[in-house]
Structure 1
């Protein structure tokens, strides 16, 4: 059971995503990348809030939502732990929210599927 420090997280203040969502997405990605493993201890709400200079209720909200989702579990006297994964998912599930937002925007712009898919294929083919 590894214990992680609050420097594990970072936030983007200018992002349209709320801070609690940024924290949730970071934990999802860290779990998918096996940086966080089942049984690992997350830093306390207070430590994360102080390090990131955010309201502790924001961090608590993120932790509670991840517990409800099954990503984390609460251990008395220890804190929040990465939960055992009962249904392993590949990293592609992390891309879904971004693609859903892009699809919604494409619908708002009334773009047809072929145009959107061609643009996405072009973007995928571009070098970094």
Structure 2
């Protein structure tokens, strides 16, 4: 069991995504990437709130929603843990919402798919 610090999280203040949603997505990604493993202890609501200068209720809301999803569990006297046996989304699935937003923007700009794919390939640093 690893205990993580509040520096595990960061927020983008200029983002259109609410802070609680940013925290949820970060936890999902950390679990999918294996940076958070079952049994790992997350930083306390208070620690995260102080480190990010946000309302503790915002952090609590994110943790509660993740608990409802089954990704986190509560342990008396310990705090929030990454749930045992949870079935996190695959890393590929976590990218889908971002790609859907990019595709919608490409359609609005009336870019053809070949141009978009070439640009994405360039950004990834891959060559064909």
Report the TM-score, using the length of structure 1 for normalisation. 0.81
Give the number of aligned pairs: 127
Q: Deviations over 1:63-119 (max 9, x none)?
A: 111111111111122211101244354311210110122233345556665665555
Report what 2:50 is aligned to: 50
Report the aligned-residue RMSD: 2.3
Report what 2:22 is aligned to: 22
Task: Give the deviation of 1:17 after TM superposition.
Answer: 1.6
Moved over 6 A (4+): none
The alpha-carbon distance between structure 1 residues 98 and 50, as it changes in their structure 2 partners (threshold 3 A), is same
Alpha-carbon distance between aligned partners in 1 of 2:123 and 2:51, rounded to the nearest angstrom: 36
2:4 pairs with 1:8: no
The alpha-carbon distance between structure 1 residues 126 and 72, as it changes in their structure 2 partners (threshold 3 A), is same
Alpha-carbon distance between aligned partners in 2 of 1:69 and 1:110, rounded to the nearest angstrom: 37
Report the TM-score, using the length of structure 2 for normalisation. 0.81
Alpha-carbon distance between aligned partners in 1 of 2:96 and 2:26, rounded to the nearest angstrom: 15
